[in-house]
């Protein structure tokens, strides 16, 4: 026992010496690492730019009436005629589409948005503020090609590259929930480019709510109005106003200025049964007085995809449907002709998978809605 303390002292002393010796040992510095050479910057593609306002876009009604901005959906005279909310929403370019032919192997777009905000909570940036490029395949069918993914107000972006050789028709759908200040299409300078003026056929005119406006399509070409435009291969005018599609007479005054193939009235998601009873018959009579032969299609409210478990909401839908059906039957009894009717129960399907938030269709819901509407619209278009 008496020897343990000296042994412990000797051990501590030995460890201290070893530590000091280790500390004095120099470690050679690491060899310097040569900086990596930067890859050469990609050479920018040569581009020839074409301003779409020089040949026009489809979905832009009211001809040469003065506008505050070229891409506004309503003419300047609508400011103060419609409600402030409808006017502000009319600045969005929903439903507009520009066509052209080119054999370029790449296509670019240069555009400036109206609003800084790129998207809302139930819209993708591509759907709200992007562009959506389609082309006709060899059989003449419209097929998807590419999109613009906006991150800020000013956008210069490649829509597609390494495209199959050949001259073909393209279409670009404009943003659904933003406006456009300017838009140009860029192609290879050596490529053929043929602007295609808006078609002169009578358009299908949709007047409705946020759903018609395009919520919540993932991209502009997936709203049902655009899908139906491709299926019928004819021009479409989208007058959807988020939260403000209410069968307003002031909007009716603008609708009658359009020589439409069909008027599709799809406002019930923003209305209650009492408002439907109050406003539906006057709007139809307003349209019919100005356009005696133009078919008018009345569309019931879609049911929320979770209304199966919410009895009050489900009853509200049923009441809305009953009010519209009542107005439709009264109009027919009064001798109004050229009326068509689309039920709402199947617009989004029966499995609950057709909406983003119960109310607004996703892409699946918009496809289903187009499927339900197509045969009725086709019947209404017969002979027109």
In CATH, what number is assigned to the domain containing residue 327?
3.40.50.1110
* pLDDT one-digit tens code per residue, 69-100: 999 999 999 999 999 999 999 999 999 999 99
Computed from CA positions of residues 12, 14, 18, 24, in that sequence, does the dihedral angle turn out positive or negative?
positive
Mean pLDDT, rounded, of the chain: 92
Domain membership flag for residue 173: yes
Overall number of domains in the chain: 2
Closest C-alpha among 224, 220, 381, 232 to residue 302: 224
Same domain, 114 and 261: no
Instruction: Report whether 276 contacts 323 (CB < 8 A).
Output: yes
Question: Side-chain half-sphere of 384: how many Cα atoms within 13 Å?
Answer: 21
Same domain, 212 and 345: yes
Domain membership flag for residue 1: no
Same domain, 149 and 247: no
Instruction: Report whether 191 contacts 149 (CB < 8 A).
Output: no
Burial class (CB in 10 A: 0-12, 13-18, 19+), 83: middle
Q: Does residue 27 surpass a pLDDT of 50? A: no
Which residues contact residue 365 at a Cβ distance below 8 angstroms, ignoring those fewer than 6 apart? 347, 348, 349, 354, 355
Cα 376 from Cα 341, distance rounded (Å): 8
* pLDDT one-digit tens code per residue, 253-294: 999 999 999 999 999 999 999 999 999 999 999 999 999 999
Cα 332 from Cα 135, distance rounded (Å): 42
Which residues contact residue 236 at a Cβ distance below 8 angstroms, ignoring those fewer than 6 apart? 58, 59, 95, 203, 204, 205, 206, 225, 226, 228, 229
Domain membership flag for residue 303: yes
Same domain, 230 and 375: yes
* pLDDT one-digit tens code per residue, 226-261: 999 999 999 999 999 999 999 999 999 999 999 999
| Domain stops at, among 146, 175, 198 | 198
Same domain, 174 and 291: no
Same domain, 216 and 351: yes
Same domain, 175 and 206: no
Pair type for strands 97-102 and 180-187 = unpaired
110-112-113-119 Cα dihedral, nearest 10 degrees: 50
Q: How confident is the model at residue 9 (pLDDT cuts 50, 70, 90)?
A: very low
Domain membership flag for residue 341: yes
Same domain, 148 and 249: no
Largest interatomic CA distance in the chain = 124
Q: What is the pLDDT of residue 43?
A: 72
Cα 56 from Cα 52, distance rounded (Å): 6
Domain boundaries, position 166: 45-60+96-198
Lookup: tokens for 130: 């992007």
Domain membership flag for residue 354: yes
How many other CB atoms are there within 10 angstroms of residue 199's CB atom? 12
Domain membership flag for residue 85: no
| Domain stops at, among 173, 198, 223 | 198
Cα 21 from Cα 16, distance rounded (Å): 9
Closest C-alpha among 128, 129, 158, 131 to residue 144: 131
Q: What is the pLDDT of residue 36?
A: 63
Q: What is the pLDDT of residue 287?
A: 98
| 102 bridge partner residues | 168, 193
Closest C-alpha among 173, 159, 150 to residue 95: 173
Q: What is the pLDDT of residue 10?
A: 39
Lookup: tokens for 197: 């003026």
Same domain, 149 and 288: no
């Amino acid at each position: 026992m008496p020897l343990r303390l000296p042994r412990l002292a000797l051990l501590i002393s030995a460890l201290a010496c070893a530590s000091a010796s280790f500390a004095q040992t120099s470690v050679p510095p690491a060899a310097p690492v040569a900086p990596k050479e930067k890859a050469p910057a990609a050479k920018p593609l040569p581009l020839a730019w074409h301003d779409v306002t020089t040949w026009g876009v489809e979905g832009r009604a009211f001809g040469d009436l003065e506008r505050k901005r070229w891409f506004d959906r309503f003419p300047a005279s609508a400011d103060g005629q419609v409600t402030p909310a409808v006017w502000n929403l009319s600045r969005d370019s929903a439903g507009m589409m520009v066509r052209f032919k080119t054999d370029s192997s790449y296509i670019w777009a240069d555009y400036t948005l109206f609003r800084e905000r790129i998207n809302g909570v139930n819209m993708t940036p591509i759907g709200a503020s992007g562009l959506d490029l389609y082309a006709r395949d060899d059989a003449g069918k419209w097929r998807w090609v590419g999109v613009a993914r906006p991150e800020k107000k000013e956008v210069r972006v490649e829509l597609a590259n390494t495209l199959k050789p050949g001259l073909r028709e393209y279409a670009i759908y404009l943003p659904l929930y933003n406006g456009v200040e300017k838009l140009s299409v860029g192609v290879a300078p050596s490529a053929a480019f043929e602007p295609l003026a808006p078609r002169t056929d009578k358009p299908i005119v949709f007047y409705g709510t946020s759903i018609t406006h395009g919520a919540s399509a993932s991209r502009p070409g997936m709203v049902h109005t655009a899908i139906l435009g491709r299926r019928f291969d004819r021009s479409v005018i989208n007058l959807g106003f988020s939260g403000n599609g209410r069968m307003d007479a002031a909007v009716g005054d603008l609708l009658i200025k359009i020589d439409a193939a069909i008027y599709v009235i799809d406002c019930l998601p923003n209305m209650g049964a009492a408002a439907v009873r109050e406003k539906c018959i006057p709007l139809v009579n307003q349209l019919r007085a100005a356009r005696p032969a133009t078919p008018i299609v009345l569309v019931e409210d879609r049911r929320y995809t979770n209304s199966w478990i919410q009895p009050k909401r489900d009853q509200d839908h049923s009441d809305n449907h009953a009010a519209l059906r009542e107005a439709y039957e009264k109009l027919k009894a009064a001798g109004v002709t050229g009326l068509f009717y689309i039920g709402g129960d199947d617009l989004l399907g029966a499995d609950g998978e057709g909406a983003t938030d119960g109310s607004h269709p996703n892409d699946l819901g918009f496809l289903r809605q187009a499927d339900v509407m197509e045969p009725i619209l086709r019947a209404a278009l017969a002979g027109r």
